[in-house]
Chains A and B, each alone.
Chain A
């Protein structure tokens, strides 16, 4: 009957209960959407960096990361590559050539990042980024460029670009290649400056023979990097290599994310404080309205703690309903943004692109994160209940029943 009493008490003053449930619902909804979106942005930033630049892990000649020169490259051993691919949790190992070149067409020129890769297996997922033309094959003699670069030079599929650079051991690297495909990159830096070419063509252009700059490792799960790294270090290479994980390669990105995450948490903290006062206000009102009734119940023989437990049950029910509804309202939106991110408006797009961030509302589906925030808000609702506890414990029935 105590549960029945608590449940019916909730609906005694429907408006007050709806306001309380609404505040909790809003807090949960806002916290989940904001944090999922924030974590989604971080995930997208890391994914971009990992798929285009670094991989989850990267194997390269010792000293390459400090001096990323075309002279500082390693021999590509196909047996080692096979072994890498057979390590548990390794999704694929992708050899790459990375260099720089000066690109010209007509009277225009621009510095570019040159990446030679195996288009069939590379982590860059060229098929997903293709907006025009075709993904070039490993034996093709054509290149792919970002949309920004295509726009800058005013060229389309089949047009040619001249590449001038420096090859292995200061050999001249100069060639003219037709554009076989145009790629879309969310990050404007890549869109404007990236030239992607088949690995063989890049090795030919830079005169590196079978050497590569690095081997990018993509894992099935990012968290497996600590366990895969020593296995990669244990393989037999032709020369001394170093194996770096993404945390070592993009520390500045991770630090920026950490700083931004703290900012987000502070914002959510402020929201929690505001919501706490909202809930506290309704609990205070409820306690004042029911002071007389509490006096009656204590008079007829109800222990104060038992009375508090009834009000606590009411609060638990209200908090539970609010938290659950907040989750049920937020989750479909989180799910939608995870599977089908919505592009930003033009103004926000420019602002985000200037920071190198994919300009779309994307969210992660992280049930632990959801549960964490639901629990925090639930706990806030419970802490606020210390007020009726104090009131009930100090209430004098005769005074409470004096109207």
Chain B
């Protein structure tokens, strides 16, 4: 069953007098439980596509439906609420809150959702355990390695029990071994939590671990392949 549907998505940026077409009619469906990589060269539109699916940017044309909600119709506040309750984000630069500990970073999302304290504690602990950071819970981001920070970011993304997680180049700042380890964790959580993972990358080792690979070039889907 499709959870995410994009229909004829276009995005046009204006740079001075020149129009740049970042997305050019992208139509795709993503079903429950998918573990999908969006790949393509720099400037192919991967980040723009993720931003639009994540409700961070508005398309110039086309539609994005998440479940039965057309997010292109939502206003700013509705989009923020929608993101909080339906989408988890993992960024290339980790983007944890530097003054909070790993555990507090994970709890913060649930705090915004006004979850009960006991539930917050329990879920933060179990997620950090799932990403292998049970002994790093009280450390602040600056006391952790890049790989550890990105694992906290994955735990944070899942804390709100989102329908899907968007990860924009999550392994770009990590070495190969750490990147593969992170992907394995994401794949495990994808299976255990049933959460959709969509990530952009151009790292072949990471691409090999995805079950579906969507390739973009010049803002268009040029291939959409299922892998074993």
- Chain A, Cβ-Cβ closest to B166: A299
Residue contact B109 to A300, C-beta cutoff 8 Å = yes
Contacts of B76 in A (CB 8 A): 304
B228 CB-CB contact with A under 8 Å: no
A341 CB-CB contact with B under 8 Å: no
- Which among A293, A303, A403 is the interface contact of B77 at CB below 8 angstroms? A303
Contacts of B97 in A (CB 8 A): 5, 293, 297
A301 CB-CB contact with B under 8 Å: yes
Residue contact B83 to A299, C-beta cutoff 8 Å = yes
B89 CB-CB contact with A under 8 Å: yes
B144 CB-CB contact with A under 8 Å: no
A250 CB-CB contact with B under 8 Å: no
Contacts of A2 in B (CB 8 A): 111
Residue contact B81 to A301, C-beta cutoff 8 Å = yes
A398 CB-CB contact with B under 8 Å: yes
Q: How far is the CB of B139 from chain A (nearest CB, A)?
A: 14
Residue contact B83 to A301, C-beta cutoff 8 Å = yes
Q: Which of A287-308 contact B (CB under 8 A)?
A: 293, 296-304, 306
Residue contact B89 to A300, C-beta cutoff 8 Å = yes
A1 CB-CB contact with B under 8 Å: yes
In the complex, per-residue mask of A194-220: 1 if CB is within 8 Å of any chain B CB, else 0: 000000000000000000000000000
Contacts of A296 in B (CB 8 A): 91, 95
- Which among B93, B99, B111 is the interface contact of A12 at CB below 8 angstroms? B99
In the complex, per-residue mask of B103-140: 1 if CB is within 8 Å of any chain A CB, else 0: 01001110111000000000000000000000000000
Q: How far is the CB of B119 from chain A (nearest CB, A)?
A: 15
A9 CB-CB contact with B under 8 Å: yes
B43 CB-CB contact with A under 8 Å: no
A296 to B51, CA, bound (A): 12
Q: How far is the CB of A236 from chain B (nearest CB, A)?
A: 77
A231 CB-CB contact with B under 8 Å: no
- Which among A1, A12, A306, A401 is the interface contact of B98 at CB below 8 angstroms? A12
- Chain A, Cβ-Cβ closest to B55: A299
A403 to B108, CA, bound (A): 24
A111 CB-CB contact with B under 8 Å: no
Tally chain B residues at the interface, Cβ within 8 Å: 28
A interface, how many residues as a size bin?
A: 20 to 34
With A1-B104, A1-B108, A1-B111 known as contacts, the answer to whether A301 contacts B99 (CB < 8 A) is no
- Chain A, Cβ-Cβ closest to B140: A8
Q: How far is the CB of B189 from chain A (nearest CB, A)?
A: 17
A178 CB-CB contact with B under 8 Å: no
- Which among B98, B104, B112 is the interface contact of A302 at CB below 8 angstroms? B112
A137 CB-CB contact with B under 8 Å: no
Q: How far is the CB of A347 from chain B (nearest CB, A)?
A: 53
In the complex, per-residue mask of A386-403: 1 if CB is within 8 Å of any chain B CB, else 0: 000000000001100101
B174 CB-CB contact with A under 8 Å: no
Q: How far is the CB of B204 from chain A (nearest CB, A)?
A: 25
Residue contact B112 to A301, C-beta cutoff 8 Å = yes
B225 CB-CB contact with A under 8 Å: no
Q: How far is the CB of A401 from chain B (nearest CB, A)?
A: 8
Residue contact A8 to B99, C-beta cutoff 8 Å = yes
A306 to B85, CA, bound (A): 16
Residue contact A398 to B56, C-beta cutoff 8 Å = yes
Q: Which of B148-192 contact A (CB under 8 A)?
A: 156, 160
Q: How far is the CB of B38 from chain A (nearest CB, A)?
A: 17
B80 CB-CB contact with A under 8 Å: yes
Q: How far is the CB of A191 from chain B (nearest CB, A)?
A: 64
A401 to B93, CA, bound (A): 10
With A1-B108, A296-B91 known as contacts, the answer to whether A301 contacts B100 (CB < 8 A) is no
- Which among A5, A298, A303, A398 is the interface contact of B100 at CB below 8 angstroms? A5
B54 CB-CB contact with A under 8 Å: yes
A300 to B93, CA, bound (A): 14
Residue contact A303 to B80, C-beta cutoff 8 Å = yes
Contacts of A398 in B (CB 8 A): 51, 56-57
Residue contact A299 to B107, C-beta cutoff 8 Å = no
Q: How far is the CB of B206 from chain A (nearest CB, A)?
A: 21
With A8-B99, A12-B98, A296-B95 known as contacts, the answer to whether A301 contacts B107 (CB < 8 A) is no
Residue contact B80 to A298, C-beta cutoff 8 Å = yes
B26 CB-CB contact with A under 8 Å: no
Q: How far is the CB of A194 from chain B (nearest CB, A)?
A: 68
Q: Other than the known A1-B111, A296-B91, A297-B97, what 20 A-B pairs have Cβ atoms closer than 8 Å? A: A1-B104, A2-B111, A4-B100, A5-B108, A8-B100, A9-B99, A12-B99, A293-B95, A296-B95, A299-B54, A300-B156, A301-B83, A301-B109, A301-B160, A302-B112, A303-B77, A304-B80, A306-B112, A398-B51, A398-B56
Across chains A and B, which 6 residue pairs bring their CB atoms closest together, nearest first? A301-B84, A8-B99, A296-B95, A301-B83, A398-B57, A398-B56
Q: List, sorted by A's number, 5 A–B pairs whose CB atoms are closer than 8 Å.
A: A1-B108, A5-B100, A299-B56, A300-B83, A401-B95
Residues of B within 8 A of A (CB): 51, 54, 56-57, 76-77, 80-81, 83-85, 89, 91, 93, 95, 97-100, 104, 107-109, 111-113, 156, 160
